[in-house]
Every structure is written in structure tokens, then in C-alpha cells.
Structure 1
Amino acid sequence: MANQVVQEAVKKMKESDIRITPQRFAILEYLVVSKSHPTADEIYKHLEERFPNMSVATVYNNLRLFTDIGFVTEMAYGDSSSRFDFTSTKHYHAICEECGKVEDVFYPGLDDVESATEQLTGFIINDHRLELYGICPDCQKKLENN
């Protein structure tokens, strides 16, 4: 499944005349497979052994490219580094206030929120983002044991 998602993304990049370098492929693949919403530094650290000549700037530049073409969403939180999420479908995030873990939440019932907001406010809504904050099961167990 993940390999198929990567191949689809590569196909779209080729159709847009975007060169597929080994580093670019590896960054994209890591984003699809990791499910951890990594930071640019985490991606760099994961790939530095495989690509010793790759710089952190290369990772950031590719993440910007992926964000610009709509493959990746930058999740910027004021208190820490941005996390990056490969997005193939609209989804939301549950974020642990203890460890920072981010879990995807798929809830299609919220799709109507944009049109309802437009009707209620007169705004033209372009996008929306929902983040839910709490304590993940692992941190709940740690807190119970202390």
C-alpha cells in the first residue's frame, strides 16, 4: 500500500516535470511510511547514513516543494519544530500534550463544516484544520504508574 502511494506521488511529480532524485525519493518514501509526522531534522537523521552528503537544507527544500505541490502539509505548532504530514486524504490530528505524539484521525462527518461556516458567516472558506489535544494511552499509563 505505502509503495503504491509513493509510486503515485512519483508519477504525479514526473507529470509536472519534477526531477526524481534519490534523496527526493527517500524523503517522500520516509514521509509516507513513517506515520510519525516527522520534523525535518528527524527525516535528516533517519536518512543521513544512507545519504552522507545530503544537507538539512536539502531536506527542507524538498519539504517546501512537496508542500507547494500539495503532497505534504506542514503542521506548525508555536512551541516546537514544524512536523510534516504526507496527505493523501483529508484528516485531523490528535496530539499528546505529554510526549508530542501525533495520531491521524479520519472523520468524514466534519466535511460539512466548511459549507456550514460559509452559510453562517458569509466567508468563503478555503480550508480547515482540526487539532485535538490530550494525553495518549502510553502517557496515561506512565502517569498512572507514578
Structure 2
Amino acid sequence: MIKYSRQRECIVNFLASRTDHPTAETIYLNTKKDFPNISLGTVYRNLSLLEEIGEIIKISTGYGPDRYDYNTKPHYHFICRQCGRVMDLDLDFNDNLVHRAQDATEHTIESCSVSFTGLCADCASNTTN
């Protein structure tokens, strides 16, 4: 059992209210409004714990800082290689891929993370202008 923390609850509530996959720094700056003495290290420790217990997802983009997602249901992400934005794709999750992968290995697959990478609409329009 994990000890209750008002700071952790604030972090979870902030993530639950967002769909833009904020960075730890964005979460820290928001949490600091309610807890002025909170440190960035405390935010990172809480995010790590929340990820470990399956309450949030950490998204490593390869194009900047990690992002965090409250939606833990299987879904796809689009990652912009230019600005680093992470967006959910409105696309049904294909369980068949996970089953096919499991059938192809002797390992036990516990989760699947699929991200699509490219240019978001804003960055694509800026490169053509």
C-alpha cells in the first residue's frame, strides 16, 4: 500500500485534466501553484511511482523530454519530430497485433506501445511556407 500524498494527488488530477501529454516541467510548474515548496525531484519521483503502479504512462519521444499520459488504456500516439508534441490518434487499438506478437515469441508480452512519428499539421504547414 502506498502512503497517500496530497502532492501526488495534485499531479494525478492535473494529468487527468489534460490530453496534451505534458512534460515533467509543465507538471512541476502547475503543481508549484498549490505546493510552492515542491521540488522538481519530488515531481519526478511521484511520476515514476505513478508509472510503476500503472496509474499513468510515460512516453519517451526521442525528440525532447518525456511526456506523461493519464490515459492508460491501449491507444496510439503521434509524435511530431520537429516540435515534440504528442497527440492521441483517434484510431481503434488493434489487439490482433499483440496476439500475433505473442504467438511469434516464447516471451510473455505484458503491454504494447505504438507511436507514429512525423510532422504535426502546424510544423508541416510551416515547412511548406
TM-score class normalised by the smaller sequence: 0.7 to 0.9
Q: How many Å separate the matches in 1 of 2:126 and 2:15?
A: 28
Q: What is the TM-score when the length of structure 1 is the normalising length?
A: 0.77
* Structure 2 match to 1:101: 85
**Is residue 25–residue 40 contact of structure 2 (8 Å, CA) maintained in 1?**
yes
1:41 aligns with 2:25: yes
- Percentage of pairs with the same residue: 33
Residues 26-75 of structure 1 show CA distances to partners (whole Å, capped at 9, x for unaligned) of 21111111212112111112222332111112211211221121111111
What root-mean-square deviation, in Å, do the aligned CA atoms of Structure 1 and Structure 2 show?
1.9
Greater RCO (Cα-Cα under 8 Å, separation 6 or more) = 2
- Give the unaligned 5+ runs of structure 2: none
Q: 1:70 aligns with which of 54, 57, 82?
A: 54
Aligned amino acid, residue 36 of structure 2: P
* Structure 1 match to 2:113: 129
Residue 143 (structure 1) shift:
1.8
Aligned amino acid, residue 96 of structure 1: C
Using the TM superposition, name which of 73-82 and 58-67 deviates more: 73-82
Q: What is the TM-score when the length of structure 2 is the normalising length?
A: 0.86
**Is residue 77–residue 87 contact of structure 2 (8 Å, CA) maintained in 1?**
yes
The alignment covers a number of residue pairs equal to 129
**Is residue 117–residue 123 contact of structure 1 (8 Å, CA) maintained in 2?**
no
